[in-house]
Amino acid sequence: MPEALRRAALDYHLQTRPGKIEVVSTKPCETQRELGLAYTPGVAAPVREIANDPDAAYLYTAKSNLVAVITDGTAVLGLGNVGALAGKPVMEGKGVLFKRFADIDVFDIEVDSKSPEHFIDVVTAISPTFGGINLEDIAAPHCFEIEAALSSRLDIPVFHDDQHGTAIIVAAGLLNALEIQGKELADARIVCLGAGAAGIASMRLLLALGADRENMLLVDRQGVLHGGSENLNPYKSEFICECPERTLRDSMAGADVFIGVSSANLVDESMLQVMEDRPIVFALSNPDPEIHPARAHAARADLVMATGRTDFPNQVNNVLGFPYIFRGALDVRARHITRSMHIAAVHALCALTHEPVPREVLDAYHLDHLAFGKDYIIPKPLDPRLCDRIPPAVARAAIEAGVARLPYPAHYPPYETE
């Protein structure tokens, strides 16, 4: 990181008051009567209501709009296992994004845990506080075990953004890119470099959307996952193939799609040159992609490319997903986030990209024109229509899946105030 940027980032977090978040009261507490309503004796009334009916907590507390952003600090950004406390700035930042894009309140929680079992127990114990749990920056393969266990134990939505958030945006962008390139997902030969949380979740979601497992190659540090691969965890084992390819270079020959969720500069021009006609390249390593866009476009004039960076077209950015997915889930008080809710978000993102781009979005990105095509396969993060499109689609999917407590989205308590 350049020194000027490092200093600016530290000053940003330090200035005025430390950190990026605060807790603000939503009710007045200026008079004796208001004090008596906020705390004793008045607070006893909602306590009794909740004791008689736990779902009343959605009416009388912040639970209905409160998400926990929780980490153990084992996989923070690209910095690795820096520990729970060092992950706190990222968790606070996630809270800022939830509030900015979907008006969802967040408590960030950093768990100093040395085992998945302990982490699961801690999160389970504190879960009554929240309307949803967003797991963040937890290393694979433990992240899979943790999410599955919590989803099974809890009756509120549990979502691991590094898995499903990435997968949803990748899938939406890829479906649009395939349309532009005149290809079908069921026929596309897909190479994914990176067999951690994002890679495995993306391949699982693409399978649910209609991709052919026989056309998928998953590549980790040891090469293509195949029948002779050693020391594979159960999650990687899902994607073993019986194939002659062993290296990334081997796998790229004839591929229609490359998805990189790994590390910088692992792909060169010669690898792109042996891909199929009209290839699709998602080089999502941040801040430095698997191959720089300038090199990629120089190698293949017929490609569609996406990265994880804001300074190139087609940014695959999780902020397009997680705030709005939780908004939709909270609006119907969902018990879980299902695969059908993931898919609903994918299709909502795809559809929005086909609509005319409003002037306020163009102005935000200093653009004169933007339309569905090679440089616009996914909506821009500052598009205000995201909150109008994705939450209703997710809420509808939750209702249809039978995981919603409410038969329709409710933003306000169903009672009359004085």
pLDDT in tens, 348-363: 999 999 999 999 999 9
The rounded mean pLDDT for the chain is 93
The letter for the amino acid at 265 is N
Residue 372 is encoded by which pair of tokens?
């569905």
Residue 417 — pLDDT band, cuts 50, 70, 90?
very low
Confidence of residue 413 (pLDDT cuts 50, 70, 90): very low
pLDDT band at 410 (very low <50, low <70, confident <90, very high): low
Measure the CA–CA gap between 401 and 393, rounded to whole angstroms.
12
The answer as to whether 4 is a domain residue is no
Higher pLDDT, 11 or 126: 126
Whether 114 is a known active-site residue: answer no
**Would you say 38 and 29 are in contact if contact means Cβ atoms under 8 Å apart?**
yes
Residue 2 lies in a domain: no
pLDDT for position 77: 83
416, pLDDT greater than 60: no
1: tokens are 């990181």
Residue 179 lies in a domain: yes
* Dihedrals phi, psi of 142, to nearest 5 degrees: -60, -30
85 with 133, same domain: the answer is yes
Give the residue among 81, 65, 61 at the shortest CA–CA distance from 73.
81
Residues 146 and 291 in one domain: no
58-75 pLDDT per residue, tens? 999 999 999 999 999 999
Statement to judge: residues 97 and 236 lie in one domain: no
Range of the structural domain that residue 52 is part of: 12-156
Same domain, 140 and 282: no
- CB distance 296 to 305 below 8 Å: yes
Question: Which tens digits make up the pLDDT trace of 159-208?
Answer: 999 999 999 999 999 999 999 999 999 999 999 999 999 999 999 999 99
Catalytic residue check, 94: yes
Catalytic option among 12, 20, 27, 39: 39
Catalytic choice (94, 183, 236, 380): 94
Residues 265 and 216 in one domain: yes
